[in-house]
């Protein structure tokens, strides 16, 4: 059995449910689940329909040894990224699960994954892009040199001895140091991924351009629709999923706050952006988005955040 899971906090459940809705549309054969890096009581869970649509496994339920440390020191971004490998290991420990696929919650499926991605390889990641941008967009290359060659928002892990080795290696390095400190070689989970093809010979970097389309690879990927309304990338391959990284619900026609393209330059993206906004609206974005994270709202990360704001204020003065 294949389990596709995502990670979310309570306020990001509309994103998670939107993703899983789209997954079930194109892959009804997959089991799906949200790994919650937050805490929801049973009473609250029962009273909210969105929380009952798909299975939710909460971080405290998987009994990891790092639980106290990561919930006390991390902000929501750090906690979510550190928990990816913990949930993956937990799900793979189940006898009925043969492989797991992880997707960031800010994705939406518009078609099926390539069959080879489902059927082949023990470890799969996707590159940020496969061809160089024009020189005037070299910022994209500079970002990748800082943030990693591969995007941590998607991976597949299939049960195998090599996957077990990979999980041990990654867990030891990433879970307790899942921070953004690029001067010292840390960017959440992503910089470690640069080493994966070197250390794990069965790892595969999937170049299919219909996968993980996002602001960082728009220079090489154009979207169109065929006669049936299906989205196609570069008139060659179906669009499997789009990654709405840096997208703002309140400014839905802005591709991403990080993008070098705007909608005037890339009108082909307008149907995707409008679809995503409508989907999140239908899944109660406005009701959920301001809900506080049980773990991080009062932990040490808030003190760090306040200190960072003060430093920034003084520096600007």
pLDDT tens per residue across span 233-277: 999 999 999 999 999 999 999 999 999 999 999 999 999 999 999
Within a domain: 253: no
Within a domain: 306: yes
Single pTM value for the model: 0.93
Within a domain: 205: yes
Within a domain: 20: yes
C-alpha 218 chain-centroid distance: 18
CATH classification at residue 209: 3.90.550.10
User: pLDDT tens-digit profile of 206-234?
Assistant: 999 999 999 999 999 999 999 888 999 99
Per DSSP, the three-state class of 2 is: strand
In contact, 207 and 127? CB cutoff 8 Å: yes
Within a domain: 258: no
Strand (E) positions, the chain? Answer: 2-8, 31-36, 55-58, 99-103, 107-109, 123-127, 150-158, 180-181, 186-187, 203-205, 223-225, 231-233, 237-238, 241-243
What range defines the domain where residue 45 resides?
A: 2-246+264-316
Within a domain: 278: yes
Within a domain: 19: yes
Total tally of structural domains belonging to the chain: 1
Within a domain: 179: yes
Q: Kind of pairing, strands 231-233 and 55-58?
A: unpaired
């Amino acid at each position: 059995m294949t389990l596709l899971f995502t990670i979310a906090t309570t306020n990001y459940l509309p994103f998670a449910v939107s993703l899983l809705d789209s997954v079930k549309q194109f892959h009804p054969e997959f089991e799906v689940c949200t790994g919650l890096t937050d805490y929801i009581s049973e009473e609250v869970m029962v009273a909210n329909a969105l929380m009952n649509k798909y299975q939710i496994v909460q971080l405290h339920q998987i009994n990891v040894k790092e639980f106290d440390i990561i919930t006390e020191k991390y902000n929501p971004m750090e906690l979510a990224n550190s928990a990816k490998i913990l949930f993956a290991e937990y799900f793979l420990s189940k006898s009925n699960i043969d492989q797991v696929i992880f997707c960031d919650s800010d994705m939406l499926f518009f078609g099926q994954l390539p069959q080879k991605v489902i059927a082949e390889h023990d470890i799969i990641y996707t590159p940020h892009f496969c061809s160089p941008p024009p020189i005037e967009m070299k910022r994209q290359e500079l970002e990748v040199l800082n943030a990693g060659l591969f995007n941590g928002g998607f991976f597949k892990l299939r049960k195998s001895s090599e996957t077990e080795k990979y999980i041990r290696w990654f867990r030891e390095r990433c879970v307790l140091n899942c921070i953004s400190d690029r001067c010292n070689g840390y960017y959440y989970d992503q910089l470690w991924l640069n080493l994966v093809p070197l250390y794990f010979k069965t790892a595969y970097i999937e170049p299919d351009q219909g996968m993980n389309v996002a602001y960082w690879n728009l220079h090489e990927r154009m979207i169109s629709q065929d006669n049936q309304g299906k989205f196609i990338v570069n008139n060659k391959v179906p669009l499997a999923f789009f990654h709405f990284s840096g997208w703002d619900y309140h400014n839905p026609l802005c591709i991403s706050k990080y993008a070098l393209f705007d909608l005037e330059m890339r009108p082909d993206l307008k149907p995707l952006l409008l679809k995503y906004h409508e989907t999140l609206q239908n899944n109660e974005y406005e009701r959920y988005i301001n809900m506080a994270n049980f773990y991080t709202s009062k932990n040490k990360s808030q003190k760090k955040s306040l200190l960072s704001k003060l430093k920034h204020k003084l520096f600007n003065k």
